[in-house]
Amino acid sequence: MTSGIHHITLITRNVQANVDFYAGFLGLRIVKRTGGFEDAKQLHLIYGDALGSPGSLVTFLVWENGSPGRVGHGQVSEIAFAIAPESIGFWLTRALNFDLQAEGPFKQFGEPVLRLRDPDGISLKLIGANLLAAAPWAGTDIPAEHTVRRVRGATILSEAPEQTTNFIRRHFGYHPHSESAAIARLVSDAGDVVDVRDASGFWPGLAGTGSADHIAFRAQDARQVAAVEGELMRLNSTVTTIHDRKYFTSLYVREPGGTLLELATDGPGFTVDEPLETLGSQLFIPPSDADRADDIRVMLPQFAMPGEARVIYRELPFVHRFHTPDDPDGSTLVLLHGTGGDETDLMPVGRKLSPRATLLGVRGRSTEEGVRRWFRRFSATAFDQEDIRFEAQAFEAFVEGANAAYGLDPTRTIFLGYSNGANLLAAFMLLHPHLARKAILLRAVSVLENVQDAGRSDADILMISGATGPYGHLAPLLEQALRASGARVDARTAGSGHELGAEDIKEATNWLARG
């Protein structure tokens, strides 16, 4: 029976900081970048050795600007990598050079240990252990003798440590090694370890950024996975179905203490769709989402490899994200999503309208009724006027800040809003004219009462309402207010409802083409 850790999966809220740490500081190779198999709009990065060998892998689900989790029982609380025992001094110096705080060195189970935290606060140990790398990766500035060799192990917090220990021993091929304080150490035939820590009385873990999603153990092939599935079914464990993850076949189960475990096959591996020489350089979309692959690619967060030029994100009033095409033309589309959306929702629309424009998606800050919006409302047609003005003023600060921070050219910046985002954009243009000189308002209505003269507008605006939408009859009042402010308004009606369609793309593309 093949045993050992296959990979450990964690969650990050900042893909660029994550890449800088794991590829830059630790020197791991990105062996795959893909949309998630459960949610293709979630970037999944996989780090490992030169081949992406099982046992070398740590993977990250990217929840960009997502909410933080909480480490507690029923979770992996700490991960560990193996280095040469004589490399502890090198890594302590390297941590200082990278301005990282290191704890140690100290001894744990007789091995020298350095403890660090990654940019999300995940606890990580570098352990001097006599384990060899399956395929050393030499593509960094780290001398070969000091490179990270493989995953050394992980710590699981459990309120039922004895049951957790027995479960891992029985189904994943681990053996008792030793005990220290509240930790029971298990070891695999491959030499890696799982430390089960008694967390009785501790709070439960919560999923989110800075926490672990699961730990995966190795299986030789799909037959071994099926055999373990049969064992678990006889025990009435909470097993999910077997999954084909393209690069391996896997099975998920929660152990008695609540931690999510996976059993994953060693093959076929990460070279099934990418040559070894360029492994990890392409962005793949799961086959099940192939029909919308272009839309998904533009919605996934971009990042630069260590040493490459990148967007330096600044603290501005609204969460935001850029998507830069391969051949940008110097123009920018600023995108304001509808109710329940986020900063990525309109990026596919932006790409279709202007393929060479840099896209800047912005996230609304109001979360009433459990969904994201741009301002508070009292009913479907009654809105909090003070909040609209406050958020419009905040958006003014955002636009001015973005122009200064990112060098945007106001004469080549176009604003596009949909539904609630279009409503905020229209209010912003009435209250703060001259900042948005060109705008597309999709399904916008008038939400602002008692509009005072804030100055003459010089904006060009395309308004597209839906012929059968629930709010289309409210659009003429907004058109009238915009015209009264001095804006040049081209008002059109699409033969659809509130949702966007191909007609909206065609009309907006033609309008932009006229300059």
Show me where the domains of the chain are located. 5-289, 315-513
Compute the average pLDDT of residues 326-354.
97
Entry pTM: 0.96
Compute the average pLDDT of residues 500-515.
95
Are the beta carbons of 82 and 129 closer than 8 angstroms? yes
pLDDT value of position 1: 66
Compute the average pLDDT of residues 137-166.
96
pLDDT value of position 429: 96
CA distance 179 to 166: 14
Are the beta carbons of 87 and 112 closer than 8 angstroms? no
Strand duo 248-254 + 57-62: pairing = unpaired
Q: With a cut of 80, say whether residue 455 has pLDDT above it.
A: no
Confidence band of 235 (pLDDT split at 50, 70, 90): confident
The number of C-alpha atoms within 13 Å of 130 and in the hemisphere containing its C-beta is 1
CA distance 100 to 108: 21
pLDDT value of position 450: 84
Compute the average pLDDT of residues 2-27.
97
pLDDT value of position 454: 63
Q: With a cut of 70, say whether residue 57 has pLDDT above it.
A: yes
pLDDT value of position 432: 94
Into which CATH architecture does domain 315-513 fall? Answer: 3-Layer(aba) Sandwich (3.40)
Provide, rounded to the nearest whole percent, the portion of the chain with pLDDT above 70. 99
Compute the average pLDDT of residues 213-235.
94
Q: Which residues of 361-399 are buried (b: 16+ CB within 10 A; e: fewer)?
A: bbbbbbeeeeebbbbbbeeeeebbeebbeebbeebbebb
Residue in the block written with tokens 């123009």: 331
**Per residue in 484-497, pLDDT tens?**
999 999 999 999 99
Q: Give the lowest-confidence range in 26-40, 249-263, 423-437, 446-460.
A: 446-460
Confidence band of 173 (pLDDT split at 50, 70, 90): very high
SS3 state of residue 444 = coil
Are the beta carbons of 439 and 464 closer than 8 angstroms? no
Listed in sequence order, the DSSP H helices in 378-501 are 385-406, 420-431, 475-484
How many other C-beta atoms can be found within 10 angstroms of the C-beta atom of residue 289?
16
Are the beta carbons of 506 and 444 closer than 8 angstroms? no
Looking at residue 53, its amino acid is S
Are the beta carbons of 462 and 440 closer than 8 angstroms? yes
* C-alpha Rg value of the chain to the nearest Å: 26
Compute the average pLDDT of residues 163-175.
97
pLDDT value of position 294: 96
CA distance 34 to 447: 41
pLDDT value of position 344: 98
Q: Give the lowest-confidence range in 93-97, 165-169, 180-184.
A: 180-184
**CATH class of segment(s) 5-289:** alpha beta
Higher local confidence (pLDDT), 434 or 119: 119
**Per residue in 461-481, pLDDT tens?**
999 999 998 888 889 999 999
**Per residue in 265-312, pLDDT tens?**
999 999 999 999 999 999 999 999 999 999 999 999 999 999 999 999
pLDDT value of position 195: 98
pLDDT value of position 241: 78
Could you give the maximum distance between any two Cα atoms of the chain, in Å?
Answer: 79
